[in-house]
Amino acid sequence: MIETEEAEALEVPVRAGREVVEQQRVGKTTYRLEKVKCGKQGCKCTDGELHGPYWYSYRKQSGKLKSQYVGKQLKTNETSGDRPDE
Ligand SMILES: [Zn+2]
């Protein structure tokens, strides 16, 4: 039996100031390990030392791209507790 993979390419734009470290596709969800800028003045990230990397999940929901913070560890069951200190 041939597995018909959801070939719908999920185009996830990289947000300004972010750096993509790794990307993984699980079903319709794209998981991406990103280094982020918090935007605080005087923070180390303004000098290019970004925070993270943290995992984010991206999926299309009724035509809209939904992103969700996952955490430092990739958990594909979407139960996360910790958040980045912002
Ligand atoms: Zn920062």
67 C-alpha to center of ligand 1: Å? 20
Instruction: Using the mean position of ligand 1's atoms as its centre, give its distance from the Cα of residue 45 in Å.
Output: 4
* 3-state secondary structure string across the chain: CCCCCCCCCCCCCCCCCCEEEEEEEECCEEEEEEEECCCCCCCHHHHCCCEEEEEEEEEEECCEEEEEEEECCCCCCCCCCCCCCC
Q: What is the pLDDT of residue 16?
A: 86
Structure pTM?
Answer: 0.72
Q: How far is the CA of 34 from the centre of ligand 1 (A)?
A: 14
Interval between CA 48 and ligand 1 midpoint (Å): 9
pLDDT at position 28 is 87
| Under-70 pLDDT residues of the chain | 1-9, 76-86
Q: Considering the chain, what percentage of its residues have pLDDT values greater than 90?
A: 52
